[in-house]
């Protein structure tokens, strides 16, 4: 992939400062506060506008790469001929090798299909093409669930400063390999996906630790990445769990302090066997 700019252009940051007035229970005082940065990014593919994302302007090359893979336009990073950022203007210019026109046309098309033949679900057409059943023999313990969530949170300095960012991390059973943050929980996962593709990091027998609610879209993204265990400190939806059950993904939610809930494919959590 040629013409790739730095992932964080000079002056681009996930946070900024804002002059505020804060009431402390007895008086109101002027202070500076740290605020999460939010900016639009329009992705142009082969000169045509493809999508506009609202994102945190860090790790943008990872984000664009992961988003294109998640939408089914690419499977491998070598399919990107060039990717150039104009973040001050809010553009990412992508040139692809051998783009299939059907992939672009079907991004917003709805498709009603059967997920593994078990339950009828609503997909975007490209979701039905790219979300595959995950197969992994990895097993982890309850204590490893807590450990990985703690590692993700320790890497989340910007979240602690702002309270306004979502975090995602790609992990082995014992350690954190990489973490990404964004105002959009889907964007954080796309950044993970994009970095893994660009650096050719194997996702086989890996875990994703995640700060946000587990929606059906989150489960679909995890399936596209190819990871079989998803850990979250928050709650799932029923459609997310039905998809996770069908797609072979273990969902563990409400991982807080010394409690957690295993929702799907419990055989991968050793104490559940």
Active site residues: 116
Q: How many CB atoms lie within 10 A of CB 97?
A: 11
Distance CA 239, CA 243 (A): 6
Give the full edge-to-edge strand order of the sheet including 259-262.
176-182, 166-171, 207-210, 229-232, 250-256, 259-262
Burial of 145 (0-12, 13-18, 19+ CB in 10 A): buried
- For strands 229-232 and 250-256, give the pairing: parallel
Give the position of tokens 């964004």.
182
Task: Tell me the C-alpha distance between 213 and 193, whole Å.
Answer: 18
Q: 141 with 271: CB under 8 angstroms?
A: yes
Q: For residue 157, what are the contacts with CB-CB under 8 A and spacing of at least 6?
A: none
**Structure token pair of residue 231:** 């850990």
Q: Are the C-beta atoms of residues 65 and 80 closer than 8 Å to each other? A: yes
């Amino acid at each position: 992939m040629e013409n790739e700019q730095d992932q964080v252009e000079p002056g681009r940051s996930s946070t900024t400062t804002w002059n505020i007035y804060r009431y402390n229970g007895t008086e109101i005082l002027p202070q500076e506060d740290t605020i999460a940065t939010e900016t639009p990014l329009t992705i142009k593919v082969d000169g045509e506008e493809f999508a506009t994302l609202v994102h945190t302007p860090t790790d943008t090359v990872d984000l664009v790469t992961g988003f294109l893979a998640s939408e089914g336009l690419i499977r491998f990073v070598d399919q990107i001929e060039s990717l150039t950022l104009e973040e001050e203007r809010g553009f990412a210019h992508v040139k692809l090798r051998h783009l299939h026109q059907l992939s672009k046309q079907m991004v917003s098309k709805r498709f009603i299909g059967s997920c593994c033949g078990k339950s009828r679900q609503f997909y975007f057409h490209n979701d039905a093409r790219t979300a595959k059943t995950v197969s992994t023999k990895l097993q982890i313990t309850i204590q490893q669930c807590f450990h990985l969530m703690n590692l993700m949170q320790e890497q989340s300095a910007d979240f602690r400063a702002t309270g306004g960012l979502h975090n995602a991390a790609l992990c082995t059973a014992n350690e954190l390999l990489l973490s990404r943050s964004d105002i959009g929980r889907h964007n954080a996962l796309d950044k993970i996906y994009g970095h893994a593709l660009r650096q050719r990091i194997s996702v086989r027998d890996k875990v994703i630790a995640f700060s946000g609610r587990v929606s059906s879209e989150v489960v679909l993204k995890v399936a596209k990445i190819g990871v079989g265990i998803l850990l979250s400190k928050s709650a799932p939806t029923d459609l997310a769990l039905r998809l996770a059950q069908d797609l072979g993904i273990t969902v563990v939610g409400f991982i807080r302090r010394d409690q957690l809930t295993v929702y799907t494919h419990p055989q991968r959590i050793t104490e559940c066997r």
